[in-house]
Amino acid sequence: MEVVLLPTPEDCGRVVADAVVGSVLPALARSGPVVLGLATGSSPLLAYQELLRRHRDEGLSLTGVQAFLLDEYVGLPAGHPESYREVIRRELTDALGLDPAVVHGPDGAAADPLQAARDYEAQLLAAGPVVVQVLGIGSNGHVGFNEPGSSLASRTRVKTLTEQTRTDNARFFGGDVDAVPRHVITQGLGTILGAQHLVLVATGEGKAEAVAAAVEGPLTASCPGSVLQLHPHVTLVVDEAAGSRLVRADHHRYVLAHKLASQGW
Ligand code: F6R
């Protein structure tokens, strides 16, 4: 796993944008369908803003991409402003000029969410592999909405959020924890591992413990983020605050300072 420790969240946003573009553009050039995996939440927002800046100012085009979300709340009506499909359209894909028809997410409003989860897994497998998957991490180590205790081999399914995650996410619902759905459909950890390149971004002191557990702790379902240790191509981008509990922080800075230009992300 490459740990990229950077001074500011803005630096993280630029590197995540570089990593996404570095995986997606060569795949688009080879032609054929290119699947881009997107996370929602606060962590990737600066990276998404950087992609939009490059689209606006430098002609970056991601046309040809099929975007697949990691997860979705169960029970929010389609079009709800906090449903992840709406969030990603608002924050990224509309302004990138991507047709909503190429932006896919689990159907959290389905009458049968269990079947909707199975359908989404099948849709993703048929479209994939995911060329690059953007990830955040929860303060409790969750990835996607795979909360602690999730099977490291799990596939897309319905999960119940922890109260900590509902409290963390209440800020998107006007601070009202009761408004945060209890259930979600999330790609499983095994599903996420199927992506060719995982790019996880975390910023702020609140993520420091989860980042250290994911990178340096044991491989354990108690920290779902630790499953990244099994993947051959992970770029983990953190600011100094989120990386502040990493025992090998000095080594990560040293590696970055001496990175070969040919190594890329
Ligand atoms: C979002 C997702 C979650 C978030 C995580 C961190 O699609 O899958 O795992 O990445 O909850 O959220 P933020 O970035 O808001 O701190």
Q: Note whether 144 and 192 are within 8 A (CB).
A: yes
Q: How far is CA 256 from CA 92, 131, 216, 228, 261, in A?
A: 29, 23, 18, 20, 11
Mean of pLDDT values over 212-233? 98
Its sign, for the CA torsion 160, 165, 166, 171, is negative
> Does residue 261 have a pLDDT over 80?
yes
pLDDT digits (tens, 9 = 90+) for 148-163: 999 999 999 999 999 9
pLDDT digits (tens, 9 = 90+) for 118-136: 999 999 999 989 999 999 9
Q: Which of 38, 42, 142, 166 to mutate to test the pocket of ligand 1 (most atoms within 8 A of CB)?
A: 142
Residue type, 228: L
Torsion of CA 228, 234, 239, 243, to 10 degrees: 40
User: Residue 261 C-alpha to ligand 1 middle, in angstroms?
Assistant: 31
Gap from CA of 101 to ligand 1 centroid (Å)? 23
What pTM was estimated for this model as a whole? 0.97
Say yes or no: CB of residue 138 within 6 Å of ligand 1. Answer: yes
